[in-house]
Amino acid sequence: MINPVFRRLFDDASLFPPASLTMVDAVAGHLRHHAAWYSEMSGLFVCADTRLTQLAAAMTAAGVVELDLALVLRGGPDGLTAATDVVFASPRLRLRALEVPVAEPTPGGVEGLATALDRTPLAGATAFMEIPVAHVNAEALRVAADHRYQVKLRTGGTTAEAFPDEATLARALTALARERQAFKCTAGLHHAVRHRDTETGFEHHGFLNVILGVAAALDDASAAEVEAELADTRPEHVAARVAGLDEDQVAGVRSLFTSFGTCSTDEPVTDLVTLGLVSRE
């Protein structure tokens, strides 16, 4: 049985760096994840709007009848109508999420994206507004809440500067918890526990650390206390803390931290098995 804290946690972003799989390999991998023993932990297939034609061709080649899609508009809201038209024209694509970055991380920029999303037919899909972590504040979150959209946090990337430090991420998580604002993360959360990548030297946040940070923030912890949760690099200690979360804490965490995009579902699953948090049996 899979702990509810991990259900549908891993959105499949294998098309994106550093994995950067071909569309054919990404679709094949997604099918494998959803047929595996850990399928309960596998979430949406994440695809940029510029690759929808490739996705349709790969689905046809693989005989895929339907696919739950998280659509990313990396260029911002200008292409919203054209992209959603393409998706809704395909009966095989089920739009579950729409992820769009703000043009500028200002109150006007956040409001502008919300207004553009208001004009877009979502057909029940969840819209995520990507706001730079350092600019997540009460004002931006009120706009998201007023328009009933969720927030996307970028927690890593291909440069060291793309990774927010613990203090910056802790302030964002504290603000999100205070406003009870749901969010997802993307990039950098390749492994369960905070670590330094031996090849790049980048400091990566751990997704278990984020879970504990959200749990602490929901328990009215200070930003400094949330920061301490994010900074913990002791795998066994972090795993034991996550295993000790009770049913109400798990429900609270996942009501806010909805999922994260990972370019490799295998890596987080392997980490959870190694730490004894999930099992094939």
Kindly report whether the global pTM for this prediction surpasses the value 0.95.
Answer: yes
Tokens 């927690």 belong to residue: 155
Domains of the chain: which residue ranges? 4-274
What pLDDT digit, counting tens, does each position of 224-268 carry? 999 999 999 999 999 999 999 999 999 999 999 999 999 999 999
What pLDDT digit, counting tens, does each position of 211-228 carry? 999 999 999 999 999 999
What integer pLDDT is reported at residue 267 of this predicted model? 96
CATH architecture of 4-274: Alpha-Beta Barrel (3.20)
What pLDDT digit, counting tens, does each position of 80-139 carry? 999 999 999 999 999 999 999 999 999 899 999 999 999 999 999 999 999 999 999 999
Residue 190: which pLDDT band, with cuts at 50, 70 and 90? confident
What integer pLDDT is reported at residue 1 of this predicted model? 78
